[in-house]
Amino acid sequence: MSNIVIFWLINISTALLRLLVIGRIGLGDDEGHYFAFSRQPELSYFDHPPAIGYIIKFFTGIFGVNEFAVRFPAVLFFFVMSIFIYFIAKKLFDEKTALWSIILLNVVPVFSFLGAVLTVPDVPLALLWVIFIYVFILLVRTQKPGYWYILGVLLGAGLLSKYNAILLPASALLFIALSPKHRHWLMKKEPYLALVSAFIIFLPVLLWNMENGWASFGFQLKHGFGSKAPAFSAALLGKCLGAQAGYISPFLFIIYWAALVYFAIKALKAKDENSLLIFSFSFPTLFLFNAIASFNEILPHWPAMGYLVLTPAVAKMTLESWDKKWFRVSSYTAWGFGLFLTLLVPLQAVYKVLPAELFLPAQEARKIEDGITKAEKMDVTNELYGWGDAGRKIAELVENSPEPKPFIFTHRHYIASQLKFYVPGHPKIYCLSDRIDAYDFWQRDLSVLDGRDGIFVCDNRFFTEPEKIYPFSSWDKPVAVESFRKGKKTRIFWLTTGRNFKLSALPKEYTAGALSPWVYWKDYLNKADTKVFFFLNRERKLPLIDYLMRFLSFTGDGILLGIFGGLVLWFYSRENFWKKFLFMVALMLFSGALTHFIKEFFSRARPLTVFGDLVRVLGPGLKYNSFPSGHTQVSFLTATFLSLKVRKFWYIFFAFAALIGISRIYVGVHFPLDVLAGAVLGTTLSYIITKLFKI
């Protein structure tokens, strides 16, 4: 049986096994939180970029709101990712290594279960990460510049999944910097245009952050780097490495790091290109997060993409060293223990096969903590169960309450998100906590709660006494909801009803009052637009500059630019002159018509209409249809076309176009955003259409 056939058998069979499991396990806290994202569509979110929310929304739209639907994308994405890992390993090494890479991928717990069953932002990131590497390998092998544009799209999509994707261009740059054969790309336009395309795709996240005081970026930077000056801690680093060893499995963890060292030596000393690819896309991620872990506590799965890229390297090193008995025995132990952990996690989650009492002294195991035994509290898979029981009881309490119905709230965003999924009907859940979280951005106005009753929910993990925090006139006796697995109590939820909520007495830190004021992103742009406009229009008053700017503004007329372009083509690109010239004129006419329709669609008023006598007008006083600037559009269109035909003067053409654009602001007829839009439109149209028609 060929390697490719075995690969498909493994990939399909493991995917089917996962599909049998995913609907039988309750959602984890993170998954519940990302489900809450899906019910609150936004450009982005406080905790993460938006992709994970929209992915869950898509699949719950197909399969309904259930655990299977939330988890299906994890199985699907891992299935597709395995295909790309196989072909990456095959291109870098050989088919046998590719097959064993897939086997290893299904042995390592962090990939086989956590990355293939639980739907978290790392799932789409991992898929886009390996596709990016595959396309980058194609770029390296073929030297076709078009692959850069695909990489730009993949990077943008990766950034919409998780901010860690920023390490992809860093890894690509490291490879190019270390490979003399490929350094020529640093002088080409394609890598930079790829970054521009990624930036455009990432714009929704930037706009959300603009509206919300850059909260997400600030949170992630603080979460990652801490709020104190870095101070090396061997204990923190050791703790993080130990946690990573647990995710990878301890023996495989050692082999992975051995593979990193082995391929780093081959890459840097032997100048092996394939080894350099592995090194460049694994080392930066592993180094960065473990460096951070030496002074700030991080989550152990953050460096997972580095280990993912190392998987084909571990498979290759294993096959190369298989004839050594000590290595063979070590590999059997490492792979076998990894497989044991991979199988144990779902078996424990579904069937509770391993009693926690085995790992504690009998007296310690029976000790009661927060209403349950210490042994049951120790079993983390218990946290996946019980939410349905709580959700049904909450719905019953709400149903039996008079109008207006009580609102449901808690003090932890994880609890709020789980309730969002498990309370029948998926009602609005409030999180009133003294720490900033995603719910603060979703519930800025709490006035609808004033005077209403509320049901407070907490569990044995995060028990609190709500009457000490939340201002209600009175409180009912708490209702306990107990959850059992195999006849043993594993969770307790407390539901406490408060009567007559007094919003004015709620401490400010429990509201969205600690957040920066919400500002629509258009307001930011309009303020910046206005400031730049008046800076150029009113604060630059010199007779010579006035004359020059009026002249430049006049030369932005399409007829004059057509004459100028014709003269340049006649003197510097005379071959097929009439074909080029007529094409340029047709391009000007087409873009002019398009600009006219865009102006009519937006109907943005000119500065003179908006600000009246405050505007210093040099020339005709125009009042209507300001966006985009037609003069700027045709100037950049001409500059782009001429640059493609007479490359040696490209900087002169674009400098001239830029000055025309600035002159339109200076003479008082356009805002800076009009000019920017015209420049982008003219450049894009000219480049794409000229390349499309191969003129």
Phi, psi of 520 (to 5 degrees): -65, 140
Q: What are 27-57's pLDDT values in tens digits?
A: 999 999 999 999 998 999 999 999 999 999 9
Q: What are 435-466's pLDDT values in tens digits?
A: 999 999 999 889 999 999 999 999 998 889 99
pLDDT at 14 over 80: yes
Confidence class for position 331, pLDDT limits 50, 70, 90: confident
In a shared domain, residues 124 and 15: yes
pLDDT at 228 over 90: no
In a shared domain, residues 112 and 176: yes
The Cα 129–Cα 78 span in angstroms is: 12
What pLDDT sits at residue 64? Answer: 95
pLDDT at 289 over 70: yes
Confidence class for position 15, pLDDT limits 50, 70, 90: very high
Q: What are the tokens at 127?
A: 């898929």
Query: Can you tell me whether residue 616 is helix, strand or coil?
Result: coil
In a shared domain, residues 167 and 194: yes
Question: Which residue segment(s) compose the domain that 394 sits in?
Answer: 385-514
Q: Is residue 219 part of a domain?
A: no
Q: What are the tokens at 658?
A: 């830029």
Confidence class for position 561, pLDDT limits 50, 70, 90: confident
What pLDDT sits at residue 143? Answer: 94
Q: How confident is the model over 213-241, as a mean pLDDT? A: 86
Are the beta carbons of 459 and 481 closer than 8 angstroms?
no
Helices (H) and strands (E) in the chain, counts: 30, 8
In a shared domain, residues 529 and 648: yes
pLDDT at 225 over 90: no
The Cα 496–Cα 537 span in angstroms is: 63
The Cα 520–Cα 451 span in angstroms is: 30
CB burial of residue 65 (10 Å; 0-12, 13-18, 19+): middle
Q: What helix, strand, coil percent values describe the chain, rounded to 5? A: 70, 5, 25
Q: What are 575-630's pLDDT values in tens digits?
A: 888 888 899 899 889 888 888 888 887 788 888 888 887 888 887 777 778 888 99
In a shared domain, residues 62 and 184: yes
pLDDT at 198 over 90: yes
Ramachandran area for residue 604 (φ above 0: left; ψ -120 to 50: alpha; else beta) = beta
The distance from CA 323 to its chain's CA centroid, rounded to whole angstroms, is 43
Q: Is residue 376 part of a domain?
A: no
Q: Is residue 364 part of a domain?
A: no
Q: Is residue 139 part of a domain?
A: yes
Q: What are the tokens at 66?
A: 């259930």
pLDDT at 307 over 80: yes
Phi, psi of 517 (to 5 degrees): -55, 135
Q: Is residue 470 part of a domain?
A: yes
Q: Among 219-233, 250-264, 299-313, 493-507, name the one with the lowest average pLDDT.
A: 219-233
Confidence class for position 360, pLDDT limits 50, 70, 90: confident
Amino acid identity at 359 = F
In a shared domain, residues 162 and 29: yes
The Cα 636–Cα 653 span in angstroms is: 8
Q: Up-side HSE of residue 464: CA atoms within 13 Å toward CB?
A: 16
Could you tell me which residue, 369 or 184, shows the higher pLDDT? 184
The distance from CA 55 to its chain's CA centroid, rounded to whole angstroms, is 12
Q: Report pTM.
A: 0.82
C-alpha to C-alpha distances, 327 to 100, 102, 319, 397, nearest whole angstrom:
16, 20, 10, 62
Widest distance between CA atoms in the chain: 96
Q: What are the tokens at 257?
A: 């790091």
Output the CA torsion sign for 202, 204, 205, 211: positive
Tell me which of 469, 484, 514 is where a domain ends. Answer: 514
Q: How confident is the model over 494-509, as a mean pLDDT? A: 94
Between the two ends of the chain, the Cα-to-Cα distance in Å is: 52
Q: What are the tokens at 684?
A: 């894009």
What pLDDT sits at residue 521? Answer: 64
Could you tell me which residue, 230 or 66, shows the higher pLDDT? 66
Q: What are 93-150's pLDDT values in tens digits?
A: 999 999 999 999 999 999 998 889 999 999 999 999 999 999 999 999 999 999 999 9
The Cα 532–Cα 673 span in angstroms is: 10
Amino acid identity at 605 = A
The Cα 245–Cα 109 span in angstroms is: 10
In a shared domain, residues 119 and 257: yes
Tell me which of 470, 490, 514 is where a domain ends. Answer: 514
In a shared domain, residues 106 and 89: yes
Q: Is residue 368 part of a domain?
A: no
Confidence class for position 299, pLDDT limits 50, 70, 90: confident
pLDDT at 372 over 90: no
The Cα 199–Cα 201 span in angstroms is: 5
The Cα 127–Cα 133 span in angstroms is: 10
Q: Up-side HSE of residue 131: CA atoms within 13 Å toward CB?
A: 22
Average pLDDT, the chain: 90
Q: How confident is the model over 183-189, as a mean pLDDT? A: 92
Q: What are 268-279's pLDDT values in tens digits?
A: 988 899 999 999
Q: Is residue 355 part of a domain?
A: no
Confidence class for position 679, pLDDT limits 50, 70, 90: very high
Residue at token pair 């519930």: 443
Confidence class for position 518, pLDDT limits 50, 70, 90: low
In a shared domain, residues 490 and 416: yes
pLDDT at 520 over 70: no
Q: Among 194-208, 302-316, 503-517, 518-532, name the one with the lowest average pLDDT.
A: 518-532
Residue at token pair 């590999």: 331
Q: What are 527-544's pLDDT values in tens digits?
A: 888 888 888 887 766 777
C-alpha to C-alpha distances, 335 to 86, 249, 262, 427, nearest whole angstrom:
18, 9, 19, 46
**How many separate domains does the chain show?**
3
Tell me which of 480, 514, 548 is where a domain ends. Answer: 514
In a shared domain, residues 504 and 650: no
The Cα 156–Cα 284 span in angstroms is: 19
The Cα 123–Cα 77 span in angstroms is: 7
In a shared domain, residues 534 and 508: no
- E-only strand ranges, 395-487: 407-410, 429-431, 454-459, 472-475, 479-485
Could you tell me which residue, 88 or 621, shows the higher pLDDT? 88
The Cα 22–Cα 31 span in angstroms is: 12
In a shared domain, residues 500 and 538: no
Q: Is residue 221 part of a domain?
A: no
What pLDDT sits at residue 76? Answer: 97
pLDDT at 522 over 90: no
Instruction: Please compute Rg for the chain using Cα positions.
Output: 31
What pLDDT sits at residue 375? Answer: 83
